[in-house]
Amino acid sequence: MVGREGKCVICSAPSGAGKTTIVHYLLRQLPELAFSVSATSRPMRPNERQGVDYHFLSPEEFAKRIREEAFVEWEEVYPGRFYGTLRSEVERIWAAGKHAIFDLDVVGGLHLKERFGPQALAIFIEPPSLEVLAERLRQRGTETAETLKVRVDKAGLEMETADRFDAVVVNHALDQACAEALDLVRNFLRK
């Protein structure tokens, strides 16, 4: 990494566990954090904005950036769907004197934890159960029966990695999960 280095807060979870909501809460509570916008090759959803929710790249552009080593981490999360953290995003946040917060899938979160070591706090947001997770995903209205099954099956495998994170927050009740995550992050940033 180039420039002044700050800390990293990594929030990872199976899709639908509530990590994005918790990350937005942490951003509102802690002005010293800045959101690291991930890159993806998936299509933009109607409520999303380029450069705010994600850096939406074509599969060809994503592959080009991989070859140029522009990513701190990247992976093919679902077949043909790539996600990654651009090095320029982390550098931008640190240059502004802030700490980066990431909203990442489980494998990406573990890659960043490995990359940044003690400079990072990796939090696993766990759903109360796979059944609750499936219902949350159904309620989104963005999944077909086939994609729902893929996400729930993947979530079961991802939940087996929870012990590799620095902390686990079980999202039974969102207010409680947000408060627990806030305590963890505040303590980490004070070190």
At 2 the pLDDT is 35
The answer to whether residue 1 is domain-embedded is no
Tokens of 24: 């937005």
Q: 141-154: per-residue pLDDT in tens?
A: 778 888 888 888 88
Q: Calculate mean pLDDT across residues 42-54.
A: 93
Collapse the DSSP code of 101 into the 3-class scheme (helix H, G, I; strand E, B; otherwise coil) and give the result.
Answer: strand
| Closest among 38, 44, 47 to 65, alpha carbons compared | 38
Which domain does 170 fall in, by range? 8-190
The answer to whether residue 139 is domain-embedded is yes
Q: Calculate mean pLDDT across residues 63-86.
A: 93
Give the β-pairing of 99-104 and 33-35: parallel
pLDDT over 70 at 4, yes or no: no
**Which CATH number fits the domain that encloses residue 41?**
3.40.50.300
At 32 the pLDDT is 97
The answer to whether residue 3 is domain-embedded is no
Q: Check: CB of residue 34 under 8 Å from CB of residue 93.
A: yes
Q: How far apart are CA 58 and CA 112, in angstroms?
A: 23
Total domains in the chain come to: 1
pLDDT over 80 at 85, yes or no: yes
pLDDT over 80 at 3, yes or no: no
The answer to whether residue 2 is domain-embedded is no
